[in-house]
Structure 1
Amino acid sequence: MKSNQLITAFLAITLFIGCKPKKENQEVKTTTPNIVLFFVDDMGWQDTSVPFWDKTTEFNELYHTPNMERLAKEGMKFTQAYATAVCSPTRVSLMTGMNAARHRVTNWTLKKDQLQPMEVNHKTLSFPEWNVNGLTPVEGIDKAVHATILPQLLQEAGYFTIHTGKAHFGAIGTPGEDPSNIGFHVNIAGHAAGAPESYYGTENFGNGKKGKEEWAVPGLEKYHGQDINLTEALTIEAKEAMDIAVDKKEPFFLYMSHYAVHIPIMADDRFVQKYYDMGIDSTEAKYASLVEGMDKSLGDIMDYLEEKKLAENTIILFMSDNGGLSVHARGGEKNTHNKPLNSGKGSAYEGGIREPMIVKWPGKVAPNSVSKEQVIIEDFYPSILEMAGIKNATTIQEVDGLSFVPALTDTTFKNPERPLFWHYPNEWGPRGPGIGASSAVRLGDWKYIYYHNDGKMELFNLKEDIGETNNQIDQNIEKGKELAKVLSDHLRKVNAQMPAHKSTGKQVAFPDELLK
């Protein structure tokens, strides 16, 4: 009996211990992370109070972005992150992992099957039939790139996918114009156009204006007539969409793609008065208010994640699609709004392509850390797939991007030097430094630019000369030849399109054909 009593007691104790709930810090869970990609339109490297250089500048003192500061303190700041010089090429690279020279959506899209008017009417160059119809999820669309698109893969992996704001993936009348066709469960206000007709709910975000239908922001009718800014309306809608994912108990991918800070430069009335009070140019005061409104949205999203107890299992990536606008529509001196970087949007110079980038990944990324790793927009595709735990994804396209996850999780990590490429066989329109048809490569500290119209070449050491003021092509011809070959080899490998000279009908030469 004594033996049986001992056995019974032992079983009772074992059962009690087994049923006792574990403390929270004892639980071991493998949870798929939520992912928020906070994407800003036309935001320059200096349009923030967060310094992305080794010193604070006057622009960092002017702009007020406390939530970017908050995100940088909680995550990693990338000081050498790049996109393309204009919007659609960047967005297609983001969604496909392809370099622009390969996917051929090398300029901004809008009208089906049509080159831009400034390309048709160019005086000296004849431009190639680039993929004016943008990105497509299905075969058979002419002048479009067919690819396995990022949200499609995330959706297949169980993510609830949300598109909010600017799309600008495909031309009007093509499948790619609607984000719900490319893997997003929810599309909020995304369509073919790359700018809003109006930021104001009191103006119905441009709806109802004759001749402006293609620019009017769709799908926000419930805010029409209200005194609300577009940035705020999009943020409210994004939070409601995340609520759906939370209720469904599904991980979500939120592509928070703001129209801000793209033109038209219209004051965000919540913030503009203090900038007027500073006495700065009125256009610049309005621009600064758009920047702060964007930052408020970031803070609202971060607050939402904390309130819903999702913050510790949510990755936030912050990025812009091209350099800050500077050649027109701004106040003050043109081509100076991104200093110390040269020029701005549309330019092959750093002001046109270097971006503010921050990544927060709780438990993986060291808070308040900085990476000098050189990354480019197509790297987001494999990086996000890796973050989501999607391995060996099968894609239609060849992916050029490399995952930057190793740099996130190990501050000592350094990729072997690899070249970064830009290719723009197009015409943007405005005239300014570094703006026009060109190709460029960065390898290590060196950057080489080749201009298609006149064959001009430039070589800069960015470590010594971040403002690209000292062209060393004549003093360092061997380095120029080396990079000209690296660039030319890439362009040939991806069968990159080149313009032709109208005077002769001959295709523009590859740079290594001129610099031998």
Structure 2
Amino acid sequence: MKTTTLYLLILAILTFSCKTERKEEDKQPTSKQPNIIMFLVDDMGWQDTSVPFYKESTPFNQQFQTPNMEKLAAEGMKFTQAYACAVCSPTRVSLNTGMNAAHHKVTNWTLRKDNAQEPQSKFLTAPNWNHAGMAADSTVENAVFATPLAEILKQAGYRTIHVGKAHLGAINTPGENPLNLGFEVNIAGHAAGAPASYLGTKSFSKPGKDRTWNVPGLEKYHGKDIFLSEALTLEAVEALDAAVDAQKPFYLYMSHYAVHTPIEADERFAQKYRDAGLEEVEARYASMVEGMDKSLGDLMRYLEKKGIAENTIILFMSDNGGLSAVARGGEPHTHNLPLSSGKGSAHEGGIREPMLVKWPGVVAPDSHCDQYLIIEDFYPTILEMAGVKNYETVQAIDGQSFIPLLIQEEGYTTEERPLFWHYPNHWGPAGPGLGASSTARLGDWKLIYYHTDQRFELFNLREDIGETENLVDKHPEKLKELAGVLTDYLKSVDAQMPVDKATGKTVVYPEEALAKNDV
């Protein structure tokens, strides 16, 4: 069985050999550092794929066609309990800072620096959260000041490339441009979290003076019959060519706008889903999923063509659970079954994601991991993969490297590590798990504390993955234990809580709510 110690020894040997092999007259590094692709999909649910992440294949798995995800799974490791935040910006900031959302306080989606654009709740006033997003400059108000992941990789010799959706900083702040967050190349990334259109025939835009949602920097595709996912992939390949020609290791953050709304058909794939009997909205959605999967396949084929596949790590992840409350066909809150609910929800459908990792020579092909991890874990993991040690950050890192899971280190487990989610905001729609809340998972147990009425939900996920039975009354001791764990963490990071409009008072932490209600 491989161990972390053995892995680090191998990295040290590789690093030493790279230094000794370099020719003095050669101006370009010949480092053996692995290339890294972080392939992030927007709003992709746990079930939006033909790869089964449940214990068995489901009707949804049979509905979607993602052959390149299947190939990646066969060549790497599948994670069945990988978690992100319930909405996009918190996840993206956690990935790029290594911080939990309660800690960095970008708890909702960002757009404008002077106001939080979330809809108003009848019952709560959201706290003054970091709606300006992420910044590498401490002078930006309402932003988290952090050392970006890409900046550390750039300093370590990587060519850092951003392609697609950024959504890290608000309009007219430095963080709206990935070039200010450690990336040397930025293709189509800006402040907005969705495209005005996926269609080149519409110039990825919409008519009128408001250009907020128009995708920037892709003018050469305007007026052409091309889908946004394809255009981004073509641009990514050009950027990779430049890195390969320069003989530099690359970090490609391939951050697709798909499969976020607007749900528009990728006509390369849509008709077969219509022919299969899917209603129009779902046929369009499935075509967007397959277009994203083609992008993954195109990048994998590029690596093979260039002869660098064996020295390239691919990490596949989604930024939140699949959209289900609005804009989809069929019955709301059912698109991620057997998981409950979807995007915006503290239930599993809103936070559990499809995750795959291929690391040739390190990760066993066709392997899987049933232990859990969370999005901020990618930050220290990617740096360890790159062989970066003793790095310094202005922020404290909450994430933990999941390399022990990747190498299947004997005896290593995450079941005693608590995970946390914090969303003191109002997303809008109503439904299971939706609303301002704080959540903790420890082992098989999960506790959700709802800020509006200070009620609790307690689930055993091993026995009830669909979160159908609230066990608060049956297991009061577990309720108190997790309420204490959650409260201790929220206090440790000074987590912001909303204000109850009826009383004018800040909502109390979960342990205090239990005491107040004499539970």
Q: TM-score, normalised by structure 1?
A: 0.93
Maintained 8 Å contact 1:161/1:252: yes
Counterpart of 1:229, as a letter, is F
Deviations 1:381-434 (A, max 9, x none): 000000000012101000000000111112643236100000000011111211
Distance 2:512 2:128 in 1: 23
Maintained 8 Å contact 1:206/1:212: no
Maintained 8 Å contact 1:164/1:255: yes
Structure 1 vs Structure 2 CA RMSD: 1.0
Match for residue 51 of structure 1?
52
Counterpart of 2:317, as a letter, is M
Deviations 1:361-382 (A, max 9, x none): 0000000000112100000000
Distance 2:449 2:240 in 1: 45
Match for residue 304 of structure 1?
302
Maintained 8 Å contact 1:371/1:411: no
Match for residue 189 of structure 2?
190
**TM-fit CA distance, 1:111:** 1.1
Match for residue 110 of structure 1?
111
Maintained 8 Å contact 2:374/2:419: yes
Deviations 1:151-210 (A, max 9, x none): 000000000000000000000000000001111110000000000000000000006x21
Bigger drift between 504-513 and 443-452 goes to 504-513
Distance 2:116 2:311 in 1: 44
How many corresponding residue pairs? 485
2:444 matches 1:432: no
What is the correspondence of 1:124-143 to structure 2 with a 5 Å cutoff? Answer: 124-143=123-142
Match for residue 248 of structure 2?
250
Deviations 1:342-370 (A, max 9, x none): 00000000000000000000000000000
**2:290 counterpart (281, 289, 292):** 292
Bigger drift between 428-437 and 291-300 goes to 428-437
Q: Name the SS for the 1:515 alignment partner.
A: helix
Distance 2:491 2:118 in 1: 28
Match for residue 91 of structure 1?
92
Q: Name the SS for the 2:160 alignment partner.
A: strand
Distance 1:31 1:387 in 2: 12
What is the correspondence of 1:227-266 to structure 2 with a 5 Å cutoff? Answer: 227-266=225-264
Match for residue 158 of structure 1?
157
Counterpart of 1:367, as a letter, is P
Distance 2:31 2:165 in 1: 33
Distance 1:401 1:248 in 2: 32
Counterpart of 2:408, as a letter, is D
**TM-fit CA distance, 1:126:** 1.4
Match for residue 272 of structure 1?
270
Match for residue 32 of structure 1?
33
Rg (Cα) greater in structure: 1
Distance 2:31 2:408 in 1: 21
Match for residue 508 of structure 1?
507
Distance 1:441 1:416 in 2: 13
Distance 2:409 2:210 in 1: 48
Distance 1:315 1:117 in 2: 37
Counterpart of 2:59, as a letter, is E
Distance 1:54 1:280 in 2: 25
Maintained 8 Å contact 2:118/2:427: no
Match for residue 27 of structure 2?
none
Distance 1:422 1:37 in 2: 22
Maintained 8 Å contact 1:197/1:212: no
Match for residue 468 of structure 2?
469
Pair 1:313–1:178, CA change in 2 (3 A) = same
Q: Name the SS for the 2:108 alignment partner.
A: coil
**TM-fit CA distance, 1:49:** 0.2
Match for residue 351 of structure 2?
353
Counterpart of 1:506, as a letter, is K
Match for residue 147 of structure 1?
146
Match for residue 11 of structure 1?
none
Match for residue 69 of structure 1?
70
Match for residue 371 of structure 2?
373
Distance 1:35 1:177 in 2: 23
**TM-fit CA distance, 1:117:** 4.5
Pair 1:55–1:376, CA change in 2 (3 A) = same
Maintained 8 Å contact 2:424/2:436: yes
Counterpart of 1:180, as a letter, is L
Distance 1:364 1:124 in 2: 51
Maintained 8 Å contact 2:118/2:426: no
Q: Name the SS for the 1:77 alignment partner.
A: strand
Deviations 1:250-289 (A, max 9, x none): 0000000000000000000000000000111110000000
Distance 2:426 2:499 in 1: 13
What is the correspondence of 1:192-207 to structure 2 with a 5 Å cutoff? Answer: 192-206=191-205
What is the correspondence of 1:410-489 to structure 2 with a 5 Å cutoff? Answer: 410=408, 412=410, 413-415=412-414, 417-489=416-488
Match for residue 26 of structure 2?
none
Match for residue 6 of structure 1?
none
Deviations 1:123-173 (A, max 9, x none): 211111100000001110000000000000000000000000000000000
